[in-house]
Amino acid sequence: MEAEPENLSECFSKLFSPPVSSHLRVVVNQSMTYPAITFCRYPSYKPAVLQKYNLQNIRTTSEWDRFPYDEVTLDKFWNESTYTRAEGYFLSALSGDLPNVENKSAYYFIWGQCHTILPLIQTTSSGKDVGYSVMLYHKETLYNRTENDPEEGWHIFVHPATDPWIESTQEHSGAEESLLLAVGEELHVRIGVQEYRRVDKAGDRCNASLDHSYEEGSELCKMRHLVNEVGCTGPWIPEVGADVPLCNEYETMKNLMKGYLNNDTCGQPCCNCIRPCRSLQFVPYIVKRQPMETTSPNLRFSHIYLFYNSRMVQVAEERLAYDWSLFLSDLGGSLGFLLGLSVLGIIGIVERLIDLLYGNLQPPERNIHQIKTNAPRQLGFSSNNDSVEKVDTICYGKEEKNYVIWRQGEATVLKNLKINHLLTTGQLLNICGERQKED
């Protein structure tokens, strides 16, 4: 009985803070939205321009001590040293049509200038013919390539269209993974889709808007905090304020680079960004990689196809494992158990009262020793009737619940007797069924 209040309190606790379970299923969509694709060229910076401004490795902070800050701004340097879209981006199409995509470019610190292709339509079928088709080219460049450097080409990042590609974050799904498209290659890539749906609950809120970008919001928050600490910004930093100047001397540039490269920026709780309730992850699978022939030695082409091979999507969905229906069920079970015990107790009390009342209404029972001699007369047996056996005594013992018939000194015991009426001793013996003689 002591466990029931604890069970009820546990039910209330689970109702206000329900557990969460995950379910995996496969969904076949009627239409498919393609992801965004970001292309970053390697090498990311023009070797001749880096040499012009006394730089060899853009990521080495000590080399920025020799940068001529008084002669050139950082904006001008990034525009001059990185590759624009016209310097390597040839054409792109979705579902065989050029107007179905939108192109955007942005500066980055590690990757120079990258170009993103965004889809403008949804497709209702799958296959290479209705996917992305992107052609790129490399003009012949000379640079000192080491053994650890990757070969010339393009690094390709696949990400949701609602989230801009961010090179510094460590939380972006798939951002750290890239496809390498080398110069003179043709690459066929199949795209797999994984969807994750979160539950918006009190301790872990999420945003149900499909246009909400957690990566963009958290990156802006972190960069704003970094810029406020350093006091200046760089061309690759998102716009965090109109009055923030570009860094124009070595110490501030070094602090900005160190904070950016080490991801040493503000996290929670100062950037308490709400995650989306619905997130997508696009997983690329290389189907085929083969050489691509070109007739122009100075324009070395590369070609990539990205497509869905089906309209199936893997959906991992969170669900509340306890709700009002389960609460009412548990509550009814607990109350039913208590009510059942109460009813059984009431029935027992009523039975006891009936026994007491019935016992008071019955005449007092006499014991075997009190009715030995006058039993035949009290039961209506006549000793003068020749057809009736000679009966000395018929008596009933309360403790034994047996009838005992005494005839000429011999005792006959009738066990568990049920008698509606008594006529004669012979009739009594015939009606009463089984009898057992005791010595």
Give the chain's end-to-end CA distance (angstroms, integer): 53
CA distances 176 to 157, 215, 217, 290, Å, are 8, 14, 19, 24
- Asked if 9 contacts 109 with a C-beta cutoff of 8 angstroms, the reply is no
Which of 339, 362, 385 is where one domain is finished? 362
Per-residue pLDDT at 177: 72
Structural domain includes residue 372: yes
Q: Are residues 213 and 313 in the same domain?
A: yes
Q: Which of 74-83, 118-127, 194-203, 274-283 shows the lowest mean pLDDT across its residues?
A: 194-203
Higher pLDDT, 97 or 381: 97
Q: Are residues 376 and 300 in the same domain?
A: no
Per-residue pLDDT at 253: 96
CA distances 264 to 123, 258, 392, Å, are 41, 8, 114
3-state secondary structure at position 7: helix
**Around Cβ 19, how many Cβ atoms within 10 Å?**
9
Measure the CA angle with vertex 124, ends 23 and 30; round to 5°: 35
Structural domain includes residue 439: no
Q: What is the distance between the alpha carbons of residues 132 and 126, in angstroms, rounded to a whole number? A: 11
Going by C-alpha positions, the residue among 392, 381, 395, 384 that lies closest to residue 426 is 381
Structural domain of 391 = 368-431
pLDDT tier at 86, thresholds 50, 70, 90 = confident
Q: Are residues 148 and 286 in the same domain?
A: yes
Q: Which of 67-71, 185-189, 388-392 shows the lowest mean pLDDT across its residues?
A: 388-392
Going by C-alpha positions, the residue among 393, 371, 382 that lies closest to residue 424 is 382
Higher pLDDT, 370 or 61: 61
Query: Would the pLDDT of 268 be above 80?
Result: no
Average pLDDT over residues 280-304: 84
Residue type, 232: C
Average pLDDT, the chain: 76
Per-residue pLDDT at 378: 44
Q: Are residues 296 and 350 in the same domain?
A: no
Structural domain includes residue 385: yes
Per-residue pLDDT at 169: 47
Higher pLDDT, 419 or 130: 130
Q: Which of 2-11, 161-170, 213-222 shows the lowest mean pLDDT across its residues?
A: 2-11
Q: Are residues 130 and 2 in the same domain?
A: no
For the chain, the domain total comes to 3
DSSP string, 134-191: EEEEEE-------TTSPPSEEEEEEE-TTS---SS-S-STTTT--EEEETTEEEEEEE
Percent of the chain with pLDDT over 90: 31
Query: Would the pLDDT of 414 be above 60?
Result: no
Percent of the chain with pLDDT over 70: 64
Residue with tokens 């965090």: 240
Which of 262, 294, 320 is where one domain is finished? 320
Instruction: Give helix 250-261 / helix 214-230 axis angle, nearest 10°.
Output: 150
Query: Would the pLDDT of 394 be above 90?
Result: no
Query: Would the pLDDT of 138 be above 60?
Result: yes
Q: Are residues 315 and 327 in the same domain?
A: no
Q: Are residues 9 and 103 in the same domain?
A: no
Higher pLDDT, 381 or 153: 153
Structural domain includes residue 437: no
Q: What is the distance between the alpha carbons of residues 391 and 407, in angstroms, rounded to a whole number? A: 5
Q: Are residues 103 and 234 in the same domain?
A: yes
Measure the CA angle with vertex 286, ends 121 and 163; round to 5°: 40
Going by C-alpha positions, the residue among 112, 119, 103 that lies closest to residue 47 is 112
Q: Are residues 237 and 95 in the same domain?
A: yes
pLDDT tens column, 235-262: 999 887 668 899 999 999 999 999 898 8
Name the token pair of 102: 């939108």
Query: Would the pLDDT of 20 be above 70?
Result: yes
Average pLDDT over residues 55-59: 90
Handedness of CA 142, 143, 146, 151 (dihedral sign): negative
Query: Would the pLDDT of 100 be above 60?
Result: yes
Q: Are residues 105 and 210 in the same domain?
A: yes
Per-residue pLDDT at 205: 84
Q: Which of 31-40, 61-70, 134-143, 170-179 shows the lowest mean pLDDT across its residues?
A: 170-179
Which of 362, 386, 414 is where one domain is finished? 362
Which distant-in-sequence residues (6+ apart) come within 8 Å of 212 by Cβ? 162, 274, 276
Q: Which range, 31-45, 347-361, 403-417, has the best average confidence (pLDDT)?
A: 31-45
Structural domain includes residue 438: no
Query: Would the pLDDT of 395 be above 90?
Result: no
Structural domain includes residue 250: yes
pLDDT tier at 263, thresholds 50, 70, 90 = confident
- Asked if 286 contacts 182 with a C-beta cutoff of 8 angstroms, the reply is no
Higher pLDDT, 313 or 415: 313
Q: Are residues 388 and 420 in the same domain?
A: yes
Per-residue pLDDT at 149: 63
Residue with tokens 């000194």: 409
Per-residue pLDDT at 34: 94
Q: Are residues 411 and 337 in the same domain?
A: no
